Homo-oligomer: A and B are copies of this chain.
Amino acid sequence: MDRRSRTKSAEGSYHHGALREALLVAAEGLIGEQGLEGFTLRECARRAGVSHGAPAHHFGDLRGLLSAFTAQSFETLDALTTRYREAAEPEPYAQLVASGVAYLDYALANRARFQLMFRSDRIDFGYPPLHAAATRVHDHLRQCVVAVLTGEARQPEDLPDAAVLARTTQAWSFVHGFATLYLDNGLFASQVGGTPARARSAYVALMLGMRDTFEGDPD
Chain B CB within 10 Å — which of A122, A170, A186 has the most? A170
Contact status B172-A175, CB under 8 Å: no
User: Within 8 Å CB of A125, what residues of B?
Assistant: 186
Interchain CA distance A48-B173 in the complex, whole Å = 39
> Interface readout for A157-192 with B: 1 if CB under 8 Å, 0 if not?
000000001101110111111101100111110011
| Contacting residues, chain B, for A36 (C-beta < 8 A) | 121
A178 touching B177, Cβ below 8 Å: yes
| Residue in chain B with minimal CB distance to A206 | B170
Asked whether B178 lies within 8 Å of A180 as measured between CB atoms, the reply is: no
Q: Is A118 part of the contact surface with B, judged by Cβ < 8 Å?
A: yes
CA distance A121 to B191 in the complex (A): 20
Whether A173 and B178, one on each chain, are in contact in the complex, defined by CB atoms closer than 8 angstroms, is yes
Are B122 and A184 touching (Cβ within 8 A)? no
Q: Given A134-B187, A177-B172, A177-B178, answer yes or no on A166-B206 (Cβ-Cβ < 8 Å).
A: yes
- Give complex CA distance A125, B180 in Å: 16
Residues of B within 8 Å of A180, CB to CB, are 118, 176-177, 180
Contacts of A2 in B (CB 8 A): none
Contacts of A119 in B (CB 8 A): 184
Given contacts A138-B187, A172-B188, A173-B178, 7 further A-B contacts (CB under 8 A): A37-B122, A169-B192, A170-B174, A172-B177, A176-B177, A180-B180, A209-B217
Q: Please, could you name 27 A-B residue pairs with CB atoms under 8 Å apart, sorted by A?
A: A36-B121, A118-B184, A120-B184, A120-B185, A121-B184, A125-B186, A135-B187, A138-B187, A165-B191, A165-B192, A166-B202, A166-B205, A169-B188, A169-B192, A170-B174, A170-B209, A170-B210, A172-B177, A173-B175, A173-B181, A173-B206, A174-B177, A176-B180, A176-B181, A177-B180, A180-B180, A209-B216
Q: Which A residues have a C-beta under 8 Å from some C-beta of B?
A: 35-37, 118-122, 125, 134-135, 138, 165-166, 168-170, 172-178, 180-181, 184-188, 191-192, 202, 205-206, 209-210, 212-213, 216-217
